[in-house]
Chains A and B, each alone.
Chain A
């Protein structure tokens, strides 16, 4: 077990493509860090640099107190779980697990003990003689996990390990990974593009975009106080409503459209205002305390069971917003509604840079 330190790590590929642009993260011992972002944001490259599968152009990666920039992947004391599992197709499950240990010259009975123990934890004891191709996707995933566990490494690295599983299995394995990481207490770095997976697994989230860190923080703090419009739209589903506004007559108004009014909380002329779907409240008449009120027309009501999503827009051609409402609420398309959001639930972002304004 160890800390992992990334200090202004950069990755430049041939042809001057800069995939990672100076990223620094301090990962505490035993912490579960999730790198999340859209494809091409550099999250996998970053993970592969920690693993040693990718050269580090500049910057430093330390595992524990050891600088590992030029250390062979096999000597970094890490274990990696790959997206397509990367099991050895010609080896039995047992040998898949034992392979890394054998290469370290570990004693046979110790290897056997560790493999059996890992197989017990992951409930793959019955498949130890089988070949990977005789296993289902979920079972392969467990074997891949087992191969990481038996090493008892300083850190686990996960590269989108659940993206090849079906939705139900993905939720199940997500819970298992979290439980396993808690009980082993091993430092973990997990890469995903799925914001829900990121939120549920992470001790701290690292939101990446275009090779730079947009925000680092606990899932809830990132959700409550997104540092930029990118984070606001990426974390949370449905995404936060982001509306461009201009200051008119001392109050807020939509830049292109009408129906929104609000209090100007800051000094600038224009902003992006963000309100999460659950923070809009349907009211008869707006309260005097409300920071933003909106007169909208219902487009469609989308029930998902526990709740419903109400899509409504500001007049003809105006921006559309999503509102989370009770699953029993009844709204008809074309119906006029008044919505309000309280000051603590309204986020302001710089109109040009997209950075949060507090």
Chain B
């Protein structure tokens, strides 16, 4: 920890010195304004309304203290959604990182037509999440979806929107498919950042390419991997909203939803603004704790070379 802290502060030391005290603040102002308007203000609003029971038609609000929080945390529904969110996040993160790493390692070795190959792999990155969800829905369609038909051949009769497992499966596959290109780009640039002579030295020291990957390449990719881990967990948590919404076609029923989607459901479908705000406050705390834990624990094992 101390080592990396010293190292990081060393990197930060190369800073510009300003003569005037106001100039740095002026330069920071646009960023601060955006953070305030789009994050701090809504967050403060959410914290405030999480302590109130709001009239669905906006006629008034009653202060209820911690009631919204206790109601949320004691409901069995919330526990079920939290468990699903955990499992969903794990699979989306693990699979999209794993598949992207595999593709990046293979693409790194391609010599002929490397650039067009890489461009094709990044293509999906340009697709917006709801559109990705829509494409996913088409692929998994009950009647014409090629993936559904393929699994039907193998004897799996998929029922998206009816079966909990089948719906989760379709969501996970679509979410992973959407995220792989982002991870791919980062892993590829991470791989290309590894010194060629270090890889050559390893090829003289170790015959097995598989072993070489796990002992030299993978540890050197750790900074990239750590960064992507945070990005992917955040993605699975928050940015999969569009995909889930399209897959469910606005009919959540007993289908799998994530915590973020539940915030939307309870707030805008159920008109329970107070409960919904309490849930977003819990999510904020969760993300805060997650970030602290990740930086504290994982960074210790990561080498910034």
Q: Are the C-beta atoms of B303 and A74 separated by less than 8 Å?
A: no
Q: Are the C-beta atoms of B207 and A75 separated by less than 8 Å?
A: yes
Is B195 an interface position by the 8 A CB rule?
A: yes
Cβ distance A105 to chain B, nearest Cβ, rounded Å: 11
Given contacts A100-B204, A100-B206, contact A86 B215 (CB under 8 A): no
Cβ distance A274 to chain B, nearest Cβ, rounded Å: 39
Is A90 an interface position by the 8 A CB rule?
A: yes
The 10 A-B residue pairs with the shortest CB-CB distance, nearest first, are: A100-B205, A74-B207, A86-B197, A86-B201, A89-B305, A103-B206, A90-B219, A82-B197, A73-B204, A90-B303
Complex alpha-carbon distance, A53 and B216, angstroms: 17
Q: What are 10 pairs between A and B in contact, CB < 8 Å?
A: A73-B200, A73-B203, A73-B204, A84-B195, A84-B197, A88-B201, A89-B198, A90-B216, A90-B303, A103-B205
User: Which residues of B sit under 8 angstroms from A74, Cβ to Cβ?
Assistant: 203-207
Q: Are the C-beta atoms of B201 and A82 separated by less than 8 Å?
A: yes
Is B208 an interface position by the 8 A CB rule?
A: yes
Complex alpha-carbon distance, A87 and B207, angstroms: 17
Q: Mark B185-211, 1 if CB is under 8 A from A, else 0.
A: 000000000010110111111111001
Taking A78-B204, A82-B201, A103-B206 as given, write out 19 further A-B residue pairs in contact, using a Cβ cutoff of 8 Å, ordered by the A residue number: A51-B200, A72-B207, A73-B204, A74-B204, A74-B205, A80-B200, A80-B204, A84-B195, A84-B197, A88-B198, A88-B216, A89-B198, A89-B305, A90-B220, A90-B305, A99-B206, A100-B206, A103-B207, A133-B305
Residues of A that sit less than 8 Å from B by CB: 51-53, 72-76, 78-80, 82-84, 86-90, 99-100, 103, 131, 133, 147
Complex alpha-carbon distance, A72 and B208, angstroms: 10
Q: Are the C-beta atoms of A86 and B195 separated by less than 8 Å?
A: yes
Complex alpha-carbon distance, A100 and B206, angstroms: 6
Cβ distance A12 to chain B, nearest Cβ, rounded Å: 16
User: Which residues of A sit under 8 angstroms from B195, Cβ to Cβ?
Assistant: 84, 86
User: Which residues of B sit under 8 angstroms from A53, Cβ to Cβ?
Assistant: 200, 203-204
Cβ distance B102 to chain A, nearest Cβ, rounded Å: 21
Complex alpha-carbon distance, A76 and B303, angstroms: 32
User: Which residues of B sit under 8 angstroms from A86, Cβ to Cβ?
Assistant: 195, 197-198, 200-201
Cβ distance B151 to chain A, nearest Cβ, rounded Å: 42
Cβ distance A44 to chain B, nearest Cβ, rounded Å: 11
User: Which residues of A sit under 8 angstroms from B206, Cβ to Cβ?
Assistant: 74, 99-100, 103
Instruction: Name the residue on B nearest A76 (C-beta).
Output: B204
Cβ distance A214 to chain B, nearest Cβ, rounded Å: 28
Interface residues of B in 191-244 (CB under 8 A from A): 195, 197-198, 200-208, 211, 215-216, 219-220, 222
User: Which residues of B sit under 8 angstroms from A80, Cβ to Cβ?
Assistant: 200-201, 204
Q: Are the C-beta atoms of B208 and A103 separated by less than 8 Å?
A: yes
Instruction: Name the residue on B nearest A133 (C-beta).
Output: B305
User: Which residues of B sit under 8 angstroms from A52, Cβ to Cβ?
Assistant: 204
Complex alpha-carbon distance, A131 and B3, angstroms: 11
Cβ distance A189 to chain B, nearest Cβ, rounded Å: 14
Instruction: Name the residue on A nearest B219 (C-beta).
Output: A90
User: Which residues of A sit under 8 angstroms from B201, Cβ to Cβ?
Assistant: 80, 82, 86-88, 147
